[in-house]
Structure 1
Amino acid sequence: MKFRTAHELEVEVLEEVQVAEVDVDVDERDLMVYNDDFNTFDHVINTLVRVCKHDVQQAEQCTWLIHYKGKCSVKKGSYEDLKPMRDGIREAGIDAKIV
């Protein structure tokens, strides 16, 4: 049985981390929805279900985050995939941006 030194283990861990970082999709963006003082919870929930295809529970969780944190990433994807959803959310009178 061969024992590895701490330096050998450190190099191995660093190599694994570097490989993991390469796998990140640089084109992935967030569809952020922002809180306001006039849209109801039900309206935001129904919009997320209709436009983003969330299930009701997911839409409710996002809505609570929007309410308490001021914003929430409701979807991740490419700009081209998120743009129609952003436009649909905005058409419902809710502030949304692709970031």
Structure 2
Amino acid sequence: MSVQEEVLEELLTQTEETRQNEIVVFNDDVNTFDYVIEMLMNTCDHDPLQAEQCTMLIHYKGKCAVKTGDYDDLEPRCSALLEAGLSAEIQ
């Protein structure tokens, strides 16, 4: 195996090991901007500016990754977003 192939294999292994899950929130025609902002601040510990920016991305791009981390941390947060009426999933 060449040095280049070894380095590529090592990088791929590191990427797979360090890859974290993320909560993705999708746009809908039901919830208001203010409501989504409030939910992101409450469930994902966003500050107001971060929540507003994510909400804009959700609206204009159709979705936004709002929180990354370990699955065990994300699962209750995603459940709270779903219970609040938002469309979200862990990817």
Give me the TM-score of the superposition, normalised by structure 1. 0.77
Q: CA deviation at 1:67?
A: 0.1
Matched residues in 1 for 2:9 and 2:52: separation?
Answer: 37
After superposition, residues 7-86 of structure 1 pair within 5 angstroms as: 18-24=9-15, 25=17, 28-86=20-78
Unaligned runs of at least 5 residues, structure 1: 1-10
Structure (1 or 2) with the larger CA radius of gyration: 1
Whole-Å Cα distance in 2 between the matches of residues 63 and 28 of structure 1?
A: 22
RMSD in angstroms over aligned alpha carbons? 1.9
Q: Give the alignment's TM-score, normalised by structure 2.
A: 0.83
Quote the sequence identity (%): 46
**Structure 2: gaps of 5 or more residues:** none
Tell me, what secondary structure is at the counterpart of 2:37?
helix
